[in-house]
């Protein structure tokens, strides 16, 4: 697995051992970042169910200001830290070992909002739980105005439902997976 674009382009990154982590395939990651475009530049990034950290690392390589990586696996946390060090990005990444919903509930209102959020849960996670994550992002103050939330889901799953503060704007199919993109609504009184 490699970084696809930006300053670390072409550099190899490690993935956690075992079958628990399923990194987003390179061609899907490339398509996601093509959709994101310049929104990554200067953004604060939240990478949930981070696994290898490939999404947050790609964002940092492409000019994101900083990234927070959250994963419950000790192996994933170790690998993300190694990847940050190997790419010279350790000063721009924070790695947190926690279950994602617990992290979101515990830190609601305590961290600055993010402009770009990646949610890449295990395929076995049900639709309701995916919607719960979107709800926690919204009510916990994690969304900067105009923030993008990108969630990977199995192809056969319906679109995870978001609240009024997040609008589903795009769905793209890539083989067995689907990427859903949501846009955070601007603050009240500001036209879209």
* Domains of the chain in sequence order: 26-156 (3.40.50.150)
Report the relative pairing of strands 143-154 and 114-119 from DSSP bridges.
Answer: parallel
The whole-number pLDDT of residue 23 equals 66
Residue 17: the pLDDT is: 80
The phi and psi torsions of 75 (rounded to 5 degrees) equal: -65, -45
The three-state DSSP-derived secondary structure of 85-125 is HHCCCHHHEEEEECCHHHHHHHCCCCCCCEEEEEECCCCCC
Angstrom distance (rounded) from CA 21 to CA 145: 31
- Phi, psi angle pair for 109, to nearest 5°: 75, 0
Q: Taking the C-alpha atoms of 45, 48, 53 and 55 in order, what is their torsion angle to the nearest 10 degrees? A: -60
What local confidence, expressed as pLDDT, does residue 190 receive? Answer: 44
- Each residue's pLDDT expressed in tens, for the chain with a length of 192 residues: 899 999 999 999 998 886 555 667 778 888 899 899 999 999 999 999 999 999 999 999 999 999 999 999 999 999 999 999 999 999 999 999 999 999 999 999 999 999 999 999 988 899 999 999 999 999 999 999 999 999 999 888 999 988 888 999 999 998 888 999 999 987 554 444
State the pLDDT at residue 188.
55
Q: State residue 191's pLDDT score.
A: 47
Catalogue the E-assigned strands of the chain: 44-48, 66-71, 93-97, 114-119, 143-154, 166-174, 177-184
């Amino acid at each position: 697995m490699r970084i696809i674009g930006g300053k670390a382009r072409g550099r190899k990154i490690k993935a956690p051992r075992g079958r628990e982590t399923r990194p987003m395939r390179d061609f899907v990651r490339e398509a996601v970042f093509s959709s994101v475009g310049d929104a990554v530049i200067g953004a604060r990034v939240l990478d949930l169910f981070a696994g290898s950290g490939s999404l947050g690392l790609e964002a940092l390589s492409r000019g994101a200001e900083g990234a927070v990586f959250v994963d419950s696996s000790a192996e994933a946390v170790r690998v993300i830290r190694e990847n940050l060090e190997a790419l010279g990005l350790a000063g721009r990444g924070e790695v947190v070992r926690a279950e994602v919903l617990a992290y979101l509930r515990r830190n609601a209102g305590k961290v600055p909002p993010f402009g770009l959020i990646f949610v890449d849960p295990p395929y076995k996670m049900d639709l309701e739980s995916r919607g719960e994550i979107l709800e926690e992002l919204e009510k916990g103050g994690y969304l900067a105005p105009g923030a993008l939330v990108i969630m990977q889901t199995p192809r056969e799953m319906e679109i995870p439902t978001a609240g009024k503060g997040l609008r589903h704007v795009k769905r793209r199919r890539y083989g067995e997976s689907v990427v859903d993109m949501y846009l955070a609504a601007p603050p009240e009184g500001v036209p879209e």
